Amino acid sequence: MKNRLNGDIAEINAALEKYMGVPNEPQKTIYEAMRYSLFAGGKRLRPVLMLETAKMLGGDADVVMPFACAMEMIHTYSLIHDDLPAMDNDDYRRGRLTCHKKYGEAIAILAGDALLNRAFEITSSAGAGDPALLLRAVSMLAQSSGARGMIGGQVIDIESEMRPITLQELEYLQLLKTGAIIRSSCTVGALLSGGSEEDVAAVDEFAKNLGRAFQIRDDILDRIGSDEELGKPTGSDEAEGKTTFVSMLGIEKSEELVAEYSKKAAEALSRFGERADFLKWLADYLVSRRS
Amino acid sequence: MKNRLNGDIAEINAALEKYMGVPNEPQKTIYEAMRYSLFAGGKRLRPVLMLETAKMLGGDADVVMPFACAMEMIHTYSLIHDDLPAMDNDDYRRGRLTCHKKYGEAIAILAGDALLNRAFEITSSAGAGDPALLLRAVSMLAQSSGARGMIGGQVIDIESEMRPITLQELEYLQLLKTGAIIRSSCTVGALLSGGSEEDVAAVDEFAKNLGRAFQIRDDILDRIGSDEELGKPTGSDEAEGKTTFVSMLGIEKSEELVAEYSKKAAEALSRFGERADFLKWLADYLVSRRS
């Protein structure tokens, strides 16, 4: 299973490489800044989820790959903008200088913009696949990353730093901020692979619960992990006064929730039988990670 | 002609209004910030160009309108990000506080992101039109606003503040920064209206030259205009040490260039005969404006 995961990641990195050349143009700094953050050692969780959802449904990798890469670009742009001084003001991510510390704020803002833009460029120019389905997939992707999806979550996150929030608000925030594009990674993969409405709904339920478990695990790691393992100072969320699942519920209850959501995620895939084995393993692997 | 222009603008504003509701959601600040900048009194130049190019070619307004609105959203997002402290650091635009002065930097960054995202959301979800053609139009739009288009121009603009640039470099910079989406406004309009390759090439030539004339006129107005007319302090480009066509060539030579590019723009439309009358008038109107 681990080999298969590494194989997926290698395929994704090769495809990203193909989409992210550095043409010898006067504006080449922007390509370098985009690459700097895109190839900073990310886990490629979202594109792996999309590829594997597609494999489970017998989809065509050529059709799905541009969308898988787009998802990673969108995730990366959101990290670049989140790290900016006006947002989280982080100097390091994954043990390396953040984009704005390396290239300056102006270029970092534009590198984020350009990655978001590039995501839509490659998905609309892909060529392989039925145009009507591709267009629907672009729409799904855009909805999940916009004001009613990821960006909406970021906004609530910023505003929640100024006042205490409830558990319900925290859940809604994370459902959008981290959940929305994890969900669309799976639903776009299913849609592009000819999945039925029921298939799409099932992988959405899987992804929703996986996203929840994944985020709570992140909060737990932020509290207990070591600096080296995460590549950023731990306890940083709480030091910044952020409400997390751990600060609200404690470690023990948070661990229980991780287990509960993981179980629900696996159950959502029951209709796919053995074909879902890898996704189930992956979900387990992700929520039991130590870094 | 002026009435027709105002009619177009009213239609565009109504369509933008439709796409930019403020749902009663916890993240509603983002919708407000997006609207604040989108309805700040822009000239709607790009969507008007798209609508009128489509009309010239007998296109369907329902198909084109989402793209016209998307173009205005992309233009607006670029202004929001350009105004940020890390970029041009402008407190006012069109006589009103800039987005970050009104909502704070974090929300302004996200409002820009969300407008770019929304542009792709509405163009991929529009419904009306042939999916293959719509997908190509999304791709054209994305290419023009990305690293090889508008964003590329912004990057060169930033880097050019640190060293003197040549006339040739300035032309390339503006061809991307302001030219790219003016061109795609026209080419997308032509493509979606069933224009032939030759039609698309002709409106591209028109838009390229119009964009040049428009930008040089902007530089001239920055030098000679009054504060009130432009809604921002004039001479600000030069005060910031920016190289402009005027700082490089002087007013007289710049005026000559405006006339030359305007002529080329009009000539490019000759194949369309009388159907091009409005676009020709519009080009004239834009490049002879006093504010």
Chain B interface disruption, residue of A113, A141, A184, most B CBs within 10 A: A113
Residue A231, pLDDT score: 57
Task: Tell whether the model's pLDDT for residue B228 goes beyond 70.
Answer: no
Task: Identify which of A210, A223, A206 has the alpha carbon closest to the alpha carbon of residue A258.
Answer: A210
Angle between helical axes of B105-124 and B131-145 (0-180°, round to 10): 150
For residues B143-162, average pLDDT: 94
Task: Identify which of B83, B109, B81 has the alpha carbon closest to the alpha carbon of residue B96.
Answer: B83
User: Is some CB atom of chain A closer than 8 A to the CB atom of B46?
Assistant: no
- CA B56 to CA B58: how far, in whole Å? 6
Residue A134, pLDDT score: 97
For residues B72-90, average pLDDT: 97
- CA A100 to CA B27: how far, in whole Å? 26
Residue B23, pLDDT score: 87
Beta bridge partners, B97, equal: B92
**Which of A120-134, B138-152, B220-234, B236-250 has the least mean pLDDT?**
B220-234
**Which of A120-124, B13-17, B159-163, B252-256 has the least mean pLDDT?**
B159-163
Task: Tell whether the model's pLDDT for residue B35 goes beyond 70.
Answer: yes
Mean model confidence pLDDT for chain B: 93
- Residue B240's pLDDT band, with cuts at 50, 70 and 90, is low
Task: Tell whether the model's pLDDT for residue B229 goes beyond 60.
Answer: no
- CA A80 to CA A98: how far, in whole Å? 7
- When CB atoms are compared, the residue of A117, A138, A159 closest to B146 is A117
Where b means 16+ CB within 10 Å and e means fewer, B154-169 reads bbbbbbbeeeebeeeb
Cβ neighbors of A226 (< 8 A, separation 6 or more) are A234
CA dihedral (A143, A53, B127, B208) positive or negative: positive
For residues B145-164, average pLDDT: 93
Q: Let me know the angle formed at the C-alpha of B97 by B91 and B99, rounded to the nearest 5 degrees.
A: 90
Tokens representing A69 are 């890469």
Please name the residue that has the structure tokens 């407000």.
B32
- CA A282 to CA A280: how far, in whole Å? 5
- Residue B238's pLDDT band, with cuts at 50, 70 and 90, is low
Cβ neighbors of B178 (< 8 A, separation 6 or more) are B150, B153, B211, B214, B215, B218
CA dihedral (A119, A121, A127, A129) positive or negative: positive
pLDDT tens per residue, range B56-65: 999 999 999 9
Residue A145, pLDDT score: 98
DSSP one-letter code for A165: -
pTM of the model: 0.95
- Mean pLDDT by runs of 10 across the 291 residues of chain A is 96 97 91 97 95 97 96 98 96 95 98 98 91 96 98 94 88 96 98 97 98 94 66 62 87 95 97 97 90 70
Cβ neighbors of A176 (< 8 A, separation 6 or more) are A148, A149, A150, A152, A153, A156, B27
A182 vs B235: which has the higher pLDDT: A182
Angle between helical axes of A131-145 and A180-192 (0-180°, round to 10): 170
Residues in chain B with CB shorter than 8 Å from the CB of A159 are 29
Distance (Å) from the C-alpha of residue B121 to the closest C-alpha of chain A? 5
- CA B115 to CA B111: how far, in whole Å? 6
Q: How many CB pairs under 8 A join A and B?
A: 160
- CA B180 to CA B204: how far, in whole Å? 10
Distance (Å) from the C-alpha of residue B273 to the closest C-alpha of chain A? 33
Residue B250, pLDDT score: 93
User: Do strands A92-93 and A96-97 pair parallel, antiparallel, or not at all (unpaired)?
Assistant: antiparallel
Tokens representing B270 are 């000759």
CB proximity under 8 Å: A 118-147 to B = 118, 120-121, 124-125, 131-132, 134-136, 138-139, 142-143, 145-147
Tokens representing A107 are 């270029």
- CA A176 to CA B184: how far, in whole Å? 32
Residue B230, pLDDT score: 54
Distance (Å) from the C-alpha of residue B45 to the closest C-alpha of chain A? 22
User: Is some CB atom of chain A closer than 8 A to the CB atom of B106?
Assistant: yes
